[in-house]
Amino acid sequence: METSKLTKWIREYGWRHLVGVFFVVFSMYPILYVITNSFADFANLQNSKLIPDALTLKHYRSLYEDSLVPYFRWLFNTYKIASIAGLFNVLLGTLAGYAFARLKFRGRRVGLITLVLIQMFPAFLAFVAIYLLFFQISDVAPFMGLGTHFGLICVYLGGSIGFNSWLIKGFMDTIPTSLDEAAKVDGANDSQIFFRIVAPLARPIIVVLFVITFIGIYSDYILAAVFLKDPNLYTVALGINVVFMDDFSNEWGSIAAASVIAATPIAVLFLFFQKQITGGLTAGSIKG
């Protein structure tokens, strides 16, 4: 009897657990491999394995002591760019979302359709145009041209505002307009309604978009490679690729250590905002 119950459980539910365990192991293996190899005492990639024979901190020390590899400057550059771009991206997206969701103006429908159409085209199509545009801007305004953090932040702002505006607009549509009407009866204007009523209620989706935008910019390589040429202005992703990849095999330990340091804040950020992310992505479908 017990054998039949076990067989039935395996047939109905057990295989699902096996599939789940397989994918967990499949996804965790490369992460564990990089973490353990960042502490491994070996010379090159050929000697690496999941469980190293000896542990050391030399790869982490090399990132700090090597004056030719300004790793922590890259890390600071990445935090600065991702934070500023993420903050203003969400701010502008929230303002645009509020305008499309609450205000009535000529061209509103055309603007919404334009946002959707723009998102249909891959970002790669604009790289050449962006490069040429900021190359010309460099002659007029060098502080925001090619090879500057300011110019790169401007590109990040333009690339995500449309998508963020559409998501925030959809969330704000679920907030009852009766709140706005009651506030207007009390004498509130549009800016007061936005900052005191709508924006606080839209905080879940705002937090979600900031985290997603921050992570996307933090890990971006292609745009940073197009824009930044000075090694002191590199981001982490660009610096690791450009500096270490020339001698990938012998520098594998340093690459693993640099990857662990770069990925740890993102993992902590995601875990810290996990409830807000899952709640913010689903709240719009059940709110109101």
In a shared domain, residues 29 and 117 = no
pLDDT score of 283 = 55
Average pLDDT over residues 80-93: 92
Closest CA to 31 of 269, 271, 260: 260
Handedness of CA 133, 139, 141, 142 (dihedral sign): positive
In a shared domain, residues 147 and 233 = yes
Q: How confident is the model at residue 288 (pLDDT cuts 50, 70, 90)?
A: very low
Q: How many CA atoms lie within 13 A of 37 on its CB side?
A: 24
pLDDT score of 33 = 86
Average pLDDT over residues 189-193: 85
Instruction: Write out the two tokens for 204.
Output: 């879940």
pLDDT score of 280 = 57
In a shared domain, residues 25 and 114 = no
In a shared domain, residues 164 and 279 = yes
pLDDT score of 248 = 62
Average pLDDT over residues 34-63: 80
pLDDT score of 44 = 65
Cα–Cα distance for residue pair 51/36, rounded to 1 Å: 7
| Domain-terminating residue out of 13, 43, 61 | 61
Per-residue pLDDT at 208 exceeds 70: yes
Per-residue pLDDT at 190 exceeds 50: yes
In a shared domain, residues 46 and 73 = no
User: How many distinct structural domains can be found in the chain?
Assistant: 2
In a shared domain, residues 77 and 38 = no
In a shared domain, residues 73 and 38 = no
In a shared domain, residues 35 and 138 = no
Structural domain range at position 43: 2-61
Query: Tokens 């050929």 label which residue?
Result: 46
- The pLDDT mean for the chain works out to 82
pLDDT score of 197 = 87
Q: How confident is the model at residue 84 (pLDDT cuts 50, 70, 90)?
A: very high
Average pLDDT over residues 53-75: 83
Average pLDDT over residues 263-277: 79
In a shared domain, residues 183 and 140 = yes
In a shared domain, residues 19 and 37 = yes
In a shared domain, residues 157 and 264 = yes
Average pLDDT over residues 227-238: 90
Cα–Cα distance for residue pair 94/207, rounded to 1 Å: 11
pLDDT score of 286 = 45
CATH classification of the domain holding 145: 1.10.3720.10
